């Protein structure tokens, strides 16, 4: 079954003023759609077309040589953006609660320290990529990835990821990536992050 772009659970303008409607529309309808189209094109006619995205992304070494880079870039792009839409929302911001809050306190000190670490990794990512909070199998960690590489490729569970490609912020923030990262935390949906945390720990 071919991969498809998931619908947004909120309107393009729901994250304003932090992320503008035009950026959301282009990002979801053009950029994410292109990753999905290119992924399906790369997988078409191979047995990998029937596999889950996670299976494909954790099996890149087994893919045909002439498909591997296209699947890495576009499959990663599909996975990363699907998560990105899920962990943002119109009633975002604030602080995490429950087990996730406890785990953040254990690993980073407090949520402000977590945000600083995620933002720092995002600012330092040269060129395009992502900055992440992941469950690495035993605990929480912050990391960044280049291009559309995803922690899934390393067997980790991404819980929160911020797109630091210029297409994610340029209309509103131009070259000011640190300002975008600072504002982004106003749209984080901590409940969605907590659900991914619970699933990762029990998985
Ligand atoms: Mn993007």
pLDDT score at 184:
98
What spacing in Å lies between the alpha carbon of 33 and ligand 1's midpoint? 10
What spacing in Å lies between the alpha carbon of 159 and ligand 1's midpoint? 17
What spacing in Å lies between the alpha carbon of 36 and ligand 1's midpoint? 12
Number of domains in the chain: 2
Task: For residue 92, tell me if it sits in a domain.
Answer: no
Distance CA 1, CA 88 (A): 27
What spacing in Å lies between the alpha carbon of 35 and ligand 1's midpoint? 10
Sheet with 157-163, side-by-side order of all strands: 140-146, 129-135, 157-163
What spacing in Å lies between the alpha carbon of 50 and ligand 1's midpoint? 25
What spacing in Å lies between the alpha carbon of 102 and ligand 1's midpoint? 30
pLDDT score at 15:
98
CATH number at 147 reads 3.55.40.20
Task: For residue 10, tell me if it sits in a domain.
Answer: no
Distance CA 155, CA 51 (A): 17
Task: For residue 91, tell me if it sits in a domain.
Answer: no
pLDDT score at 71:
98
pLDDT tens track for 15-53: 999 999 999 999 999 999 999 999 999 999 999 999 999
What spacing in Å lies between the alpha carbon of 2 and ligand 1's midpoint? 21
- Whether residue 2 is predicted with pLDDT greater than 80 in this model: the reply is yes
Query: Of the candidates 47, 42, 51, which has an alpha carbon nearest to the alpha carbon of residue 72?
Result: 42
Average pLDDT, the chain: 97
Its pTM surpasses 0.75? yes
**Residues spanned by the domain of 180:** 98-201
User: Do 60 and 113 fall into the same domain?
Assistant: no
Distance CA 152, CA 6 (A): 19
Task: For residue 7, tell me if it sits in a domain.
Answer: no
pLDDT tens track for 87-119: 999 999 999 999 999 999 999 999 999 999 999
Q: Is 81 helix (H, G, I), strand (E, B) or coil?
A: helix
């Amino acid at each position: 079954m071919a991969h498809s772009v998931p619908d947004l659970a909120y309107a393009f303008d729901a994250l304003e003023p932090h992320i503008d409607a035009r950026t959301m529309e282009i990002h979801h309808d053009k950029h994410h759609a292109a990753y999905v189209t290119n992924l399906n094109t790369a997988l078409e006619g191979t047995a990998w077309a029937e596999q889950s995205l996670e299976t494909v992304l954790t099996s890149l070494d087994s893919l045909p040589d002439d498909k591997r880079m296209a699947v890495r870039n576009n499959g990663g792009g599909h996975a990363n953006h699907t998560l990105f839409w899920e962990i943002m929302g119109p009633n975002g911001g604030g602080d995490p609660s429950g087990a996730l809050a406890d785990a953040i306190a254990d690993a980073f000190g407090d949520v402000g320290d977590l945000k600083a670490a995620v933002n720092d990794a995002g600012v330092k990512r040269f060129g395009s990529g992502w900055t992440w909070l992941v469950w690495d199998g035993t605990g929480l960690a912050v990391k960044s990835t280049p291009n559309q590489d995803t922690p899934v490729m390393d067997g980790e569970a991404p819980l929160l990821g911020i797109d630091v490609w210029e297409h994610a912020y340029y209309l509103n923030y131009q070259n000011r990536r640190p300002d975008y990262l600072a504002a982004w935390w106003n749209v984080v949906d901590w409940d969605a992050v907590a659900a991914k945390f619970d699933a990762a720990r029990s998985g």
